Structure 1
Amino acid sequence: MKIRQRGIFTVGALLAAGSLVLSACGGAQPGQSGEATGSNGNGEASAWALTGGTHEIIWRDSFEKWNTENSDQSISVDWFANDAYKEKIRTAIGSDNAPTLVFGWGGATLRDYVEAGKVVDITDDVKDSVDKLIPSIADGGIVDGKYYALPNVGTQPVHMYYNKQLFEEQGLEIPQTWDDLLNCVEKFKEAGIIPISLAGASKWTSMMWLEYLFDRIGGSEVFDRITNGEKDAWSDPAAIEALGKAQELVKAGAFGDAYGSVVADANADVALVHTGKAAMMLHGSWAYGTFLTDAPDFVKDGNLAFGAFPSIEGGKGDPSAVAGNQSNFWSVSAASSEQAQTAAKGYLNNLFDDEYVKAMVDGGDIPPTVGAEKFIKGSEQEDYLTFGYDMVLNSSNFQLSWDQELPSDTSQTLLDNIQLLFDLSITPEQFADAMNATIK
């Protein structure tokens, strides 16, 4: 699922490309997986981690520091490209040959691991780290009231991006409400500018609109009822209204005429904004790094603005609520030896020291820890990191991306029907019927 790939690369992944070669020296080389060791018989702790950008650099440095200071509890690490890892960990988990530290994305996969007894309860072992985390981010590692995973990178909220220059040229203010947004759509359309950039061919980009519309209109309870498996939960009046508002945007021409052929993986949606062809975009924090890489002068000259998703008059949702990816996570394999588990738990409980948090900030990550303002202030991307950090820190709820929250088979049905909804091929009621059929 696309969310998994986009979740691992952020600003730092792009800024650090030049220094990655140096940081990759030593240990297994990026992408090598032939000699990866899982829960082997020697009792030593192991980890499988993903290659790429600042995250790899941070993890390498962190493991090296742990191994130097705890030689009797060292952790061996093997490195994988994203897709290779997903394939290998699926087999390893099933055969009880997973590494001690299991890299994951939370959501339905974590719940499956817990239900199958593949990862252990670490609640009593990571209290020091949990105390340092923003609660809504730490919650991503909870299943049935217990911690089975701990965040290991920055947090990745979804929010609005704006071409400030286009707004100034049209005499428009950044929209704060849904009505403001619709007014901007009308004005930009009249000016021959695509109001909102949307990579409709990628499906998950359209999903982000629904995540916020459901929440702003009905509150977090609407999707909670869906994840709880309540019968006909997708037919909630707030859900139907949200689906209708999404189609309202399409019918108003908000996304232009060719949005169905725009692909997010090629960053075509981001390009529409920084080239002045589109005025707005709803996207994750990872898109900021794309702006920095593809249009550094556009950002440097102050033409990029960002903000929270607009509020909706009469909606029950809290305007501070956020959608996106809370983080990526480490879990501890139940198949590992007691000795290996002890080492892994010790590593996790000492993860978020000042050095680790500062490294995330320096790489452009929005840190998942409380008190990170001291590291953000004066950093190269202070304005953006302050916005993103405050947004998450002050959020009343952090909704994990739907295609991570839901089981994989349900997620595919969801994405397929989202495309049909945005193509105006089905009605909100037909969408709800199709999704209600997935509730077991």
Structure 2
Amino acid sequence: MSKIAKRIPGLILAAAMLLSIAACGGSAASSDNSTVSDSKAGSSEALVQKESVTLSLWHIWAADSESSKAPFEKVLADFQTANPDIKLKVDATENETYKTKIRAAVAANEAPDIFFYWSGGYMKSFVDAGKLLPLNDYLDDETRSRQLTGTLSNMTFDGKIYGLAHSMSVGTFFINKELFAQNNVKIPETYEDLTAAVKAFRGKGITPMAVGAKDTWCIDMYLDILETRQAGYDACYKALTKTGSFEEPDIIEGARKLQELIDMGAFTDGAQGVTRDESEVPFYEGKIPMYFNGSWTIGNIMRPDSKIKDKIQIIKFPKLSDKSDINDFTGGVSEIFVVNANTKFKDESVKAIKYISENFAKEVYLAGAGLPTWKVSVDESKIDPLTKELVKLTQDSKTYTLWWNTLLEGDDSQLYMNKSAELFAKRITPEQFVKDLQTMNTKK
């Protein structure tokens, strides 16, 4: 079994990054032949035929608003230069549409040679169906040693490794300190501070928190951290791994607090009809004081043309009860690249994801779009201050609970997203919410 959502000592990932950085200053593939000639003038040697292959690659960074798009495209271009005999046919699709598209392609045995996916339980159905290529035989000790400790855990099942990650993401609470100062509102250290801030901003006609609830995973970002801060890591972990129950009083209370914030007017007006990208526009314009989302958001905050890059700080999301720990985080190693088990070009495909994953780790770090899972060497002066602040903020981390909709398997993941949307819309009560989730743990 994969060691998903496992308790991770802070010095394994966050501090390990600091140490490693400080120490460094259905395949859609086709083939064709390219001719390579001797460069010596007048040579009578025969022309040498070198086989070339084309690998199809799918990913989710389609929009310019994606902080990972530019660094990823750079890595692809670099790979093509370094490997002229391997051509990449690249297809990019927006996140939510991509999920449906890739599942359909895999089910029909029409998946690309290489594709982006999510680790944990989310990928397990593909593993169980034999759709992904095990990578163990392709990863020598030297390759493994270049990755940070624990990186491969979320994509390992029954001792077999099925993907390579490039970065680690952390659920991050972004604060526009200028808006707090201008409106004489205290930056929240407790839940009481948080609700007071919500009421104060809403009273001034300012939307307190951004969320694009049309993309359900954005609701889950808030719900995951509320549950972690209310019920604590252990209760959440046990419920998610079917060794405990969702019908715990504190898990119910975590759901209730989400609805409490909704009732206060904490979130984007008409949020259920607003996408993630749409909800972020006023935040990037400096009009929304609080936002909880993945650490990849730093990449957009710190863009050269950003209106808020000098106005944002990140803080730990406040505790909601004594059962939680301020150093328990959501997130972890979730975004990966995998190889289609049916590709005609296994060696080339693995070569490609090894290159892409390792080099993308460096580029996303430089772009502020993620923390690297490889031991990259970078010029520290080029790392933006907000990313450095995130590393410092998480260096005392005790646990990381993988995003719930990623940790949970297949139908369970979809059930969680459906029920969190219903909870957000207030179509169900917190009690009904956990009762419905508990069906995951009682079904045979």
Aligned residues: 389
Report the alpha carbon displacement of residue 293 of structure 1 after superposing the two structures with TM: 6.1
TM-score by length of structure 2 reads 0.73
Deviates more, 1:177-186 or 1:267-276: 267-276
- Identify which of 409, 417, 420 aligns with 2:419: 417
Contiguous gaps of at least 5 residues in structure 2 = 1-26, 33-50, 63-68
Give the C-alpha shift of residue 393 in structure 1.
Answer: 6.0
The question of 1:369 aligning with 2:377 is answered no
Structure 1's 81 and 45: CA in aligned 2 closer, same or farther, altered over 3 A? closer
Equivalence for 1:131: 145
Give me the whole-angstrom Cα distance separating, in 2, the residues matched to 1:335 and 1:434: 37
1:49-77 per-position Cα deviation (integer Å, ceiling 9, x unaligned): 33643244244235325525xxxxx5442
RMSD: 3.7
CA distance in 2, matches of 1:369, 1:253: 38
Aligned partner of 2:153: which letter?
A: D
Among 162, 168, 173, which residue is 1:148 paired with? Answer: 162
- 1:271 correspondence with 2:271: no
Contact 2:177 2:312 in 1 (8 A): yes
Structure 1 distance, partners of 2:297, 2:275, is 10
Kindly report which structure 2 residues correspond to 1:347-386, keeping only aligned pairs within 5 A, or say none.
347-348=352-353, 357-369=361-373, 372=376, 375=378, 377-379=380-382, 382-386=384-388
Match of 2:311 among 300, 303, 313: 303
Residue of structure 1 equivalent to 2:188: 175
TM-score relative to the length of structure 1 = 0.74
Q: Secondary structure at the match of 2:228?
A: helix
Amino acid at match of 1:81: A
CA contact (8 A) 1:100 1:332 kept: yes
Cα deviation for residue 111 of structure 1 reads 0.8
Deviation at 1:36, TM superposition (A): 3.5
Q: Alignment partner for residue 253 of structure 1, among 253, 256, 265? A: 265
Q: Using a 3 Å threshold, how does the CA distance of structure 1 residues 251 and 359 change in structure 2: closer, same or farther?
A: closer
> Residue 369 of structure 2: SS of its match in structure 1?
coil
- The residue type paired with residue 212 of structure 1 is I
Alignment correspondent of 1:48: 57
- The answer to which of 59-68 and 82-91 deviates more is 82-91
**Residue 115 of structure 1, CA deviation:** 1.0
- Code of the aligned partner of 1:334: A
Secondary structure, counterpart of 2:209 in structure 1 = strand
Corresponding residue to 2:249 among 220, 237, 242: 237
In 2, are the aligned partners of 1:162 and 1:279 still within 8 Å (CA)? yes
Task: Return the match for 1:80 from 85, 91, 98.
Answer: 91
**CA distance in 2: counterparts of 1:262 and 1:96, whole angstroms:** 34
Q: Is the 8 A contact 2:299 2:369 kept in 1?
A: no
What is the alpha-carbon distance in structure 2 between the residues aligned to residue 244 and residue 209 of structure 1?
A: 12
Aligned partners of 2:217 and 2:417 also within 8 Å: yes
Match for 2:346: what amino acid? Q
Q: Report the AA paired with residue 341 of structure 2.
A: A
Q: Structure 1's 275 and 387: CA in aligned 2 closer, same or farther, altered over 3 A?
A: closer
**Displacement, 1:211?**
0.5
User: How many angstroms does 1:427 deviate by?
Assistant: 1.8
Alpha-carbon distance, 1:165 to partner: 1.1
Q: Structure 1 vs Structure 2: percent identity of aligned residues?
A: 23
Alignment of 1:386-425 (within 5 A): 386-391=388-393, 395-425=397-427
Shift of residue 190 of structure 1?
4.1
What one-letter code is carried by the residue in structure 1 that aligns with 2:164? Answer: L
Match of 1:433 in 2: 435
Q: 2:297 aligns with which of 263, 269, 287?
A: 287
- The verdict on how the C-alpha distance between 1:266 and 1:164 changes in structure 2, with shifts beyond 3 A counting, is same
Structure 2 CA distance for partners of 1:383 and 1:272, relative to 1, 3 Å: closer
Q: How far off its partner does 1:385 sit? A: 1.9
Q: For 1:97-121, what per-residue CA distance to the aligned partner results, in whole angstroms no more than 9, with x for missing partners? A: 6454343222334211211122233
Larger radius of gyration: 2
In structure 1, the gaps of 5 or more residues are 1-34, 69-73
Counterparts of 2:152 and 2:372 in 1: how far apart (Å)?
Answer: 8
Offset at 1:356?
5.2
SS in 1 for 2:83: helix
